[in-house]
Structure 1
Amino acid sequence: MRIDSIAFRTPSRMISNEDILRYIRDYNQSQNREELESYCRKIERLFRRAGAQSRYVRDMGAGERAFDLLRDAARSAIADAGLVPRDIDLVIYCGIGRGFLEPANATFLVSALGIECDAFDITEACMSWARALQVAQGFLLTRSYARILIVNAEFSVYENGYPEIFKMRTDAEIAYTFPALTIGEAATATVVTLSPDAWKFRFRTRPQFASLCNLPLPGFRDFCLPDTKVGANGVHQLVAYSSELTQTASREMTSFVKAAYPDVSGIDIWFPHSSSESALKIMATRLGVGDRLYDKVFRKFGNLASASIPAAMCEATKEGSLERGMRVVLCPASAGMVFGLMEGIY
């Protein structure tokens, strides 16, 4: 499989850490002033510890729409691959952000591109884009499709966050609420085609940690065993136990990589899912890969969910860190929890 092109789009409204702190102060004006300032200092320390600096969200007042950014990314990726929309014979929509439970979100993009081709959705939290690559390669190898477009539209801060996430929380609540303050928004589009070089996909699933990160829908209690961690912030609100997630991800991914790659010197660059820059730096040191583990997305764009790796690949290409012919490993950790290693030639 060859990744022919990747396009990355963010909305226009940049939100800094200082903006978030201002929103918290505005939202909690009725609270005790000293307690509010103490709370803001805690959040500020957590931002510094994670490495968060900014994130981009839609300018709703200006009419900015997720679908417009998605369509623009798709058109750009198709053109960059030297194709026109009618050359695409399958569209896979993946990720967390979506406007519909039915029909497949992919069908709306296909219609907007003015084409008729097969289209469906894949959802596996922050692993969605990587899993879509695996599915796409399977189709390419069987010659079911020749040119596949993989897209995601990770836009959810208004639908599943703002303004409720600005509410003052107890220390216990901060433990599973803070990560929502680092979420950014983005759309990506990727064109893949068949090549002699097949990618290798490996996954490890640890379902005993599924409740550590969840974003529940109405009626969710009918679809899982009772668990106080699930839905702790209510429906349509992210719950992410950051400390436990980081510790588990670091332990499991380090073990996974060391088992798969006794010698890491043959890999030119590693792309993780970026939910904390500081955690990634620690993992890079433990694995002995140093600055070959790309960690520059989170500080600027925040946690982009399933869009974080394609966004990172775009940014790395722009700055010259990623070039054609490099041996690449994608190494996302996702809610579930699921850990992935995808190796191929870029």
Structure 2
Amino acid sequence: MKIASIAYRLPSKKLTNDALIEYISKHNPEQSAFQKTPYLKLVQKLLTKTGAQTRYWRDIEAGERGEDLILGAMDEAIERSNISHSDIDLLIYCGVGKGFLEPANAYFYARSRGMKTANCFDITDACMSWTRAVQMADLMLKAGSFKAIAIINGEFHVGLHDNWEIRDFRSLEYTFPMYTIGEAATATILLPSDDEWQFDYNSRPEFADLCTIPLNGYENFVTPTKRVGKNGIDRFVSYGQDLFREGEKCLGELIDMSIDIPASKVWYFPHAPSKTVYEEFLPKHGIPVEKIYLEVYPRCGNVVSASIPLGIRLAEEEGKLKRGDPICLVPVSAGLVASVVQLTY
């Protein structure tokens, strides 16, 4: 399988850390400056510590919509692959951001572009969603089930799963990761080739409640824990420090087991919930820091399942990534699960 093309769209509203702090402050008009100032100073300090600089959000007041960005990314990716929409015989929508639980969101995007006979389904595994979708595509292309597969996502969460209420410092333990979120849409076109991909995973279900967005009635399906629902139903909760600690162990074990010569790769692409955590962690496992692509988080924030395809495309645009380069994807996701994916770009 080969990546024929990747395209992306970022929303129009660019926010610096200072603009984000002002946004949080404005969403808490009932709080006095005495209450807000120390909280916001700590948020600013944590943003700087993680390497955050800017992020992009939809201009909701101006009517900017996720659908337009998703379709724009898909149109560009198809055009750059020198194929047409009708050539896509499988469309996979992946990720956390979505408009429907039923049917699969992919059907709506296929309908929007007249893809009348395209097979469609969704894949959801938090920030691992794109990686899971790519492996599914690899298996289906090898089996000859499909000839051209498109994977799209739209990670749009502002105004949907966010919580800007200032409470106390203790709440930052599970609320701060929301402040790192950016928005993005990506599209990836995958075609058959003789190039082999190697997928390896390391999963720790015991940590399933470290990062959650619970649905109404979730307690009917799973036994509630004290970590779930801290910010309310449909709201993002992430115990970032715990997630990073356990995620590092999980990914570190996998890197040591699956990569023979870490320095042989041209680039490593992590999921991007932080910049500094990867600068400090990956070199401990033989990965040179200069080979880790770390531009996504500082520029765009944590864009969930869009992080890796966005990083690949940005690196290509910058002339840092070239066809034929051996690369490695090293995402860690809520669940908890880590992955090492080795391929030739």
CA RMSD for the aligned pairs? 1.0
TM-score normalised by L of structure 1 = 0.97
Partner of 2:276: 278
Residues 1-346 of structure 1 correspond to what in structure 2 (within 5 A)? 1-116=1-116, 117-161=118-162, 165-289=163-287, 290-346=289-345
CA distance in 2, matches of 1:106, 1:15: 30
CA distance in 2, matches of 1:86, 1:294: 34
CA distance in 2, matches of 1:26, 1:184: 19
SS of residue in 2 equivalent to 1:37: helix
SS of residue in 1 equivalent to 2:24: helix
SS of residue in 2 equivalent to 1:8: strand
**Could you tell me how far 1:160 is from its partner in structure 2?**
0.9
Q: Deviations over 1:64-100 (max 9, x none)?
A: 1100111111010000001111111110000000000
Q: 5+ residue gaps in structure 1?
A: none
SS of residue in 1 equivalent to 2:262: coil
8 Å Cα contact 1:284-1:291 kept in structure 2? no
CA distance in 2, matches of 1:29, 1:159: 20
8 Å Cα contact 1:21-1:40 kept in structure 2? yes
8 Å Cα contact 2:202-2:251 kept in structure 1? no
8 Å Cα contact 1:2-1:195 kept in structure 2? yes
CA distance in 2, matches of 1:25, 1:271: 34
CA distance in 1, matches of 2:63, 2:35: 36
CA distance in 1, matches of 2:251, 2:11: 31
SS of residue in 2 equivalent to 1:70: helix
Question: Which amino acid letter does the alignment assign opposite residue 189 of structure 1?
Answer: A
CA distance in 2, matches of 1:177, 1:227: 17
Q: Deviations over 1:7-28 (max 9, x none)?
A: 0101101122111211222222
Q: Deviations over 1:79-135 (max 9, x none)?
A: 000111111111000000000011110001101111221111011100000000000
Q: Deviations over 1:8-64 (max 9, x none)?
A: 101101122111211222222332322211111111111011111111111112211
CA distance in 2, matches of 1:160, 1:28: 17
**Could you tell me how far 1:166 is from its partner in structure 2?**
2.2
CA distance in 2, matches of 1:285, 1:304: 24
TM-score normalised by L of structure 2 = 0.97
CA distance in 2, matches of 1:110, 1:20: 35
CA distance in 2, matches of 1:146, 1:28: 52
CA distance in 2, matches of 1:118, 1:29: 48
SS of residue in 2 equivalent to 1:166: coil
Question: Which amino acid letter does the alignment assign opposite residue 247 of structure 1?
Answer: R
CA distance in 2, matches of 1:92, 1:79: 18
Question: Which amino acid letter does the alignment assign opposite residue 225 of structure 1?
Answer: T
Q: Deviations over 1:199-230 (max 9, x none)?
A: 11111110011110001111111121231001
Q: 5+ residue gaps in structure 2?
A: none
Q: Deviations over 1:291-318 (max 9, x none)?
A: 1111110011000000000000011001
- Higher mean C-alpha deviation, range 280-289 or range 124-133: 280-289
**Could you tell me how far 1:196 is from its partner in structure 2?**
0.6
Question: Which amino acid letter does the alignment assign opposite residue 277 of structure 2?
Answer: A
CA distance in 1, matches of 2:152, 2:25: 36
CA distance in 2, matches of 1:198, 1:309: 19
